[in-house]
């Protein structure tokens, strides 16, 4: 490796959602299967989908997933800056796993971001001194010319660390050749010298039909394409920035297997604003015979056997949304009829009697939905924890990320929250990934819903996740030029890459 440091690579993308996260995870899994000690890294992440490390640090779930792909424990070093949007114009800034304040986009890009460059690079250097290879993920596009001056996640990191860059493009969207060429041509000569080539993602069809275009792209840019990754259905890997499409009717991909019992179980997830950690329902979608969909209309709750009110970065805003849409009344009817409802984190807070919030929304005292005997007061300090407990006779592990402190005033205890009839509430994310508890919970839901649903006795969410990560490693191993990628990681970008005009303005 170069200079006594571990090797490295930056996986950039032509757009958001081009596939950077899954490609990074796939490269990590491929390398660790080769016997290398590898770590993921993303200098700055903007996401409401986060995770708590064992040392109590909050990082993006995508980096936690990539760490699992690399078979290492996730740490704050892997995602030193996390931005958690609280609206269209402001975000909570999380530095080394702890919140350090709220900033507008203008304030962040206007000065604070530059201050964070040094700690970001220090984290990367520490990882490179410990691991054989560090696979870095970029954000959005490296050709955001309006943000290049303060960049701490794309070419700014690549330049400072002398990392080779591979650009991923989503061909399923169309226009991938223009995206590759335009991305390269909008970079400065110094940045272009690190862009080694491209990876085509989500290709459907006969690769031989694509090859003339790849040859022409090489002629135009002097850069090769390192692989064409086929479209892979049902990966079910943690997403980074949330579901960007309209959530109404969106169904989480699930195991293609018939139900064990006579009935399926239908789960409706309220698509609240600023939804966080919607991956909580992935463990439900992994169960044969469980259908999970996101909804935003009260009539879509009618045929649901379970309704989930998920986490949110804006509990008060979510409450108003539930009321405006008529979902609050539909939830109240369900509770009165003894039909199952589960509130997680912000959803749990919304199901309570009262919220006192001078921190998140600064709305003061707001009435909750009154379905659980809970009062919530928002504190300045954020709770970041990895609790372990028991519910329904089963061991449960989870993680907590919240400013709200719950005062539970009744009901049956349930994972530090409570249960009243068929309404359940907890601050614990990830609890449904505990297999025994998930099966016991689904049996309770099926009984309350009058469904002849039987949980599969052998579904292991952890094993399914490992299988998906292996599929990502297989995509890289089988469809990318791994010898060339390994040379990039070990030796850096090749010398003499041609400049593609016009370059950065």
Catalytic residue among 345, 418, 427, 479: 345
383 Cβ neighbours under 8 A, 6+ residues apart:
400, 401, 402, 403, 405, 427
Q: Which residues of 283-310 are buried (b: 16+ CB within 10 A; e: fewer)?
A: bbbbbbbbbbbbbbbbebbeebbbbbbb
Catalytic residue among 402, 403, 427, 429: 429
**Helix-, strand-, coil-residue percentages of the chain, each rounded to 5:** 35, 30, 35
Number of H helices, E strands in the chain: 16, 27
Distance CA 468, CA 477 (A): 14
Whether the CB-CB separation of 456 and 287 falls below 8 Å is answered with: yes
Nearest residue to 6 (alpha-carbon basis) of 22, 28, 33: 28
Tell the burial category of 394 from Cβ atoms under 10 Å away from its Cβ (0-12, 13-18, 19+).
Answer: middle
7 Cβ neighbours under 8 A, 6+ residues apart:
1, 132, 133, 134, 489, 490, 491
Q: What angle do CA 160, 161, 167 make, to 5 degrees?
A: 95
Q: Which residues of 483-502 are buried (b: 16+ CB within 10 A; e: fewer)?
A: ebbbebbbebbeeebebbee
Q: Which residue has the tokens 């609050």?
A: 328
Distance CA 403, CA 21 (A): 28
Distance CA 451, CA 6 (A): 55
Residue 40's φ and ψ, nearest 5 degrees, are -90, 165
Distance CA 242, CA 53 (A): 20
Q: Which residue has the tokens 């990590």?
A: 28
Whether the CB-CB separation of 248 and 298 falls below 8 Å is answered with: no
Q: What angle do CA 240, 39, 274 make, to 5 degrees?
A: 15
Q: Could you tell me the two tokens for 12?
A: 């950039």
Active-site residue, 429 included: yes
Strand 417-420, strand 423-426: pairing: antiparallel
Which residues does the annotation mark as catalytic?
345, 429
């Amino acid at each position: 490796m170069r200079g006594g440091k571990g090797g490295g690579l930056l996986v950039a993308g032509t757009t958001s959602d081009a596939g950077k996260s899954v490609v990074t995870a796939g490269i990590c899994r491929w390398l660790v299967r080769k016997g290398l000690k590898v770590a993921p890294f993303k200098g700055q992440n903007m996401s409401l989908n986060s995770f708590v490390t064992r040392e109590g640090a909050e990082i993006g779930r995508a980096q936690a997933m990539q760490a699992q792909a690399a078979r290492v424990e996730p740490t704050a070093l892997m995602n030193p800056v996390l931005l958690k949007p609280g609206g269209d114009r402001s975000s909570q800034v999380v530095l080394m796993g702890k919140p350090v304040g709220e900033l507008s986009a203008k304030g962040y890009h206007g000065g604070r971001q530059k201050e964070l460059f040094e700690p970001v690079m220090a984290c990367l250097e520490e990882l490179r001194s410990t691991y054989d290879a560090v696979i870095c993920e970029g954000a959005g596009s490296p050709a955001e010319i309006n943000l290049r001056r303060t960049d701490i996640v794309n070419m700014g990191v690549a330049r400072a660390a002398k990392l080779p860059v591979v650009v991923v493009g989503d061909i399923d969207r169309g226009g991938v050749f223009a995206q590759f060429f335009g991305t390269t041509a909008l970079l400065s000569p110094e940045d272009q010298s690190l862009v080694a080539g491209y990876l085509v993602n989500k290709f459907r069809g006969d690769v031989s039909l694509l090859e003339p275009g790849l040859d022409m792209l090489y002629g135009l840019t002097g850069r090769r394409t390192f692989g064409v990754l086929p479209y892979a259905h049902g990966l079910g890997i943690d997403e980074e920035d949330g579901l960007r499409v309209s959530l109404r009717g969106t169904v989480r991909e699930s195991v293609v297997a018939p139900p064990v019992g006579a009935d399926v179980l239908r789960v409706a997830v309220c698509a609240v604003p600023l939804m966080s950690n919607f991956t909580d329902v992935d463990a439900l979608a992994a169960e044969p015979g469980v259908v999970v969909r996101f909804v935003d209309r009260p009539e879509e709750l009618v045929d649901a056997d379970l309704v989930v009110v998920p986490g949110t970065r804006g509990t008060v805003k979510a409450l108003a949304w539930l009321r405006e849409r008529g979902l609050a009344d539909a939830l109240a009817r369900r509770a009165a009829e003894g039909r199952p409802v589960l509130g997680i984190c912000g959803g749990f807070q919304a199901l309570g009697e009262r919220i006192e919030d001078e921190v998140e929304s600064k709305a003061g005292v707001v009435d909750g939905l009154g379905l659980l005997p809970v009062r919530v007061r928002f504190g300045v300090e954020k709770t970041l924890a990895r609790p372990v407990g028991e519910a329904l006779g089963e061991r449960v592990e989870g993680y907590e990320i919240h400013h709200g402190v719950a005062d539970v005033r009744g009901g049956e205890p349930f994972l530090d929250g409570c249960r009243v009839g068929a309404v359940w509430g907890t601050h614990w994310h990830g609890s449904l990934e505990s297999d025994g508890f998930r099966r016991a919970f689904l049996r309770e839901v099926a009984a309350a819903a009058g469904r002849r649903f039987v949980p599969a006795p052998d579904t292991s969410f952890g094993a399914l996740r490992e299988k998906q990560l292996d599929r990502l490693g297989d995509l890289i191993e089988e469809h990318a030029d791994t010898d060339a990628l390994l040379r990039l990681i070990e030796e850096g970008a090749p010398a003499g890459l041609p400049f593609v005009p016009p370059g950065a303005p």
